[in-house]
Structure 1
């Protein structure tokens, strides 16, 4: 590949809408609020699936190069951690349709019956072009079918993928190149409006789960009303929506304090400086953070009071959007090889587990499924925290445990000052048995001694008689 090609190749290893719509972190400090009440009137139509603007892919905007690998019988570490072989004894996601709202999903032999449900990026597209590679990576983690001799498989290998392309770093509004240098990167395309339309479209076309591995980040508070309306529409129609928490190393660079050790009882929302959408609409979504191979929160996960659960999200394996095998990463805009890491790839793990649960418990509503996923996660010591929510998702527990009661609030269990009871004084020891034993022993010893001493005169008489003889 030429040096110029390397410069313009890009891999959306975490898609950030901030770059596409000109909003993001770094616009000053502001405190976030809980999302406002949903206004259903803001819900957009899901049809037709066309970009609201004329778009173009510049001639120098080559599709991302893919780093292949991960094939063979070795089971990827994330898959081993989740113990999917055992989970598949209970469910493989049969009958579930997972909508992947992303950069498109390429047709792949391990994604049979892929449903092409529309394209909000390029006119005339159907959602199966994936120039970025990101959407195909996500779809493979969710539902890549099982193949003999291959260790990698999707979390829900018998579920079906629906693709709706909603964003791409390779596209931009038509004519945007006129004021740019010949080798400048495209602006990218995708807005909160097209995301909201894609959510509605997925619901209307029969998705049971929706995966959104892309985020918008910024301090603005009133730009996502259509997203809230679309998410409420999804949950009301019994669809579970799973979304990424965002990457601090990408489009969400501001650190959210959430819990302040100097003010531990403060409202977590009062400590938030940057909103993450759609994650902040936590009444309607499962928001997913990432953990590493040791189970610790990934350094890139954006903290927030909306975190629901976490899943493995580093050095993942998925499907190759350019071929028929597997992939482990792509090439970024600087020509650097990037691994498949990010909350983007933790999110499809949870979407896959949701599909497993929905297939095993078809009687559960969307909200009941969300509760089960959170209630059966491996909780942190404080019960909930700002990086992994209620903990690391556990497919086996989600498929087998009994879930009762309500979830605790999304706040760490506060420290408590408690005076420990003073131990009661120990009762005086009862030495009766010891004393009886000692007295008895003394009596016996004395008797033996007296008997011994009394024997001396007798032995003396006997000794004299023998001398006289």
Structure 2
């Protein structure tokens, strides 16, 4: 049960304790600018709806590792810093800038790369960084509630969400996740209150990553039954926050280039849609160029891959829909994106939710793109959202415990009766 009383008080963005940079900032693998459209953008066909909407007037908050200024993000705004003493316009991790570029990078002459909603405004809030740690800390954060290998947790994420929507964000992109084993606590009560406040009180679309299997925080895949009503799935063994606040967020899984669910994408009854999340190209953190990964000390590249990079494609779609259809509420926008997704067999799947993202269909209201935007009436979701997934999970665990106690009592009684026939 979400407790609204845990909502963070409005306050200026700042870390809760003194921090310091422990490692050097990431280096990126730069790529030449060419007219070739990256694979993900070709698949999603954002440019097909740019004659109808480019996301103008929409503020998309990127709660991440910060966003570095870039010529292709001319309307970038500083939203605050929960990691250090900056304003949110520093990115030591080459993560938030990549996310922001996928959402709203402007097209440039001779370049095939652009964000999905290039006229949207990015509001950058730095909430985590693997390069920073609390000054007093002698170890890396590796516990429930952590959203970063360095600095950042569910408490600062909750505060960042409130800051974002109080600043007028229409869409909030959260390409981060905290994971914990079922039955343990992430201490995310404030985060639940924040997403409820953002979605209900502020009518913001909250888009969040499903999470990646990384062997550290999100260790074990949820082996859930596929192709059936999500309310009948097995109890997850790994919980993901804020994804599991399913009534208030739109959770995104990752797809490989062939359209199959990515093996690293965390399954869950809270997954709503999926989008391309492997080998993406986006903005670099220095200069005016593009990048396709980070480099280690030996110059080996790690590609930009993960549900983190599938999520901004859905956030861009939400910005396009809100700009084209300002009469829609945040909940309506989510329903529209979900309903126009390309459904898997059985209508819902624990890996891809209601299916693969279709920005053109979401904007036009039809699975077939029409130049005149002749929208059709959308049918309701085939499977409604679970209204409080946390309560359902806890109730199921309690029921199993009660059942075991009852079975144990009956077994003891049977033994006693055999020993004492009278």
| TM-score, structure 2 normalization | 0.82
| 329 and 364 in structure 1: CA distance in 2 versus 1, 3 angstrom threshold | same
Once residues 332 and 403 of structure 1 are traced to their aligned partners in structure 2, the CA distance between those partners, rounded to angstroms, is 50
C-alpha displacement at 1:89, in angstroms? 2.0
Is the 2:225–2:234 contact (alpha carbons within 8 Å) kept by the matching residues of 1? Answer: no
| 249 and 187 in structure 1: CA distance in 2 versus 1, 3 angstrom threshold | closer
Match of 1:246 among 190, 205, 211: 211
* Helix, strand or coil at the partner of 1:344: helix
> 1:266-325, CA deviations, whole angstroms, 9 ceiling, x for partnerless residues?
954542001001111110011000111111111111000000000011110100111211
Match of 1:201 among 163, 171, 176: 163
Once residues 226 and 294 of structure 2 are traced to their aligned partners in structure 1, the CA distance between those partners, rounded to angstroms, is 38
Structure 2 counterparts to residues 275-424 of structure 1, below 5 A: 275-332=239-296, 336-401=300-365, 402-409=376-383
Match of 1:111 among 73, 84, 93: 73
Matched with 1:12 is none
| 210 and 178 in structure 1: CA distance in 2 versus 1, 3 angstrom threshold | closer
| 85 and 407 in structure 1: CA distance in 2 versus 1, 3 angstrom threshold | same
Once residues 266 and 193 of structure 1 are traced to their aligned partners in structure 2, the CA distance between those partners, rounded to angstroms, is 29
* Helix, strand or coil at the partner of 1:172: strand
Structure 2 counterparts to residues 92-241 of structure 1, below 5 A: 92-122=54-84, 124-176=85-137, 188-219=150-181, 220-221=184-185, 223-236=187-200, 237-241=202-206
> 1:425-450, CA deviations, whole angstroms, 9 ceiling, x for partnerless residues?
xxxxxxxxxxxxxxxxxxxxxxxxxx
Match of 2:21 among 37, 47, 57: 57
CA RMSD in angstroms, aligned pairs only: 2.1
Determine if the alignment matches structure 1 residue 80 to structure 2 residue 24: no
Once residues 364 and 210 of structure 2 are traced to their aligned partners in structure 1, the CA distance between those partners, rounded to angstroms, is 27
C-alpha displacement at 1:45, in angstroms? 2.2
C-alpha displacement at 1:338, in angstroms? 0.4
> 1:362-389, CA deviations, whole angstroms, 9 ceiling, x for partnerless residues?
0000000000000000111110100110
> 1:33-67, CA deviations, whole angstroms, 9 ceiling, x for partnerless residues?
xxxx2210001124120100111112xx1110100
| 156 and 368 in structure 1: CA distance in 2 versus 1, 3 angstrom threshold | same
Higher RCO (CA-CA < 8 Å; seq separation 6+): 1
Once residues 83 and 102 of structure 2 are traced to their aligned partners in structure 1, the CA distance between those partners, rounded to angstroms, is 23
Which protein shows a greater Rg? 1
| 94 and 53 in structure 1: CA distance in 2 versus 1, 3 angstrom threshold | same
* Helix, strand or coil at the partner of 2:334: helix
* Helix, strand or coil at the partner of 1:138: helix
Q: Unmatched 5+ residue regions in structure 1?
A: 1-36, 180-185, 412-469
Is the 1:240–1:366 contact (alpha carbons within 8 Å) kept by the matching residues of 2? Answer: yes
* Helix, strand or coil at the partner of 1:286: strand
Structure 2 counterparts to residues 451-466 of structure 1, below 5 A: none
| 268 and 278 in structure 1: CA distance in 2 versus 1, 3 angstrom threshold | farther
Is the 1:202–1:210 contact (alpha carbons within 8 Å) kept by the matching residues of 2? Answer: yes
Once residues 332 and 192 of structure 1 are traced to their aligned partners in structure 2, the CA distance between those partners, rounded to angstroms, is 28
| 79 and 409 in structure 1: CA distance in 2 versus 1, 3 angstrom threshold | same
| TM-score, structure 1 normalization | 0.74
Once residues 257 and 268 of structure 1 are traced to their aligned partners in structure 2, the CA distance between those partners, rounded to angstroms, is 13
More moved, 70-79 vs 134-143:
70-79
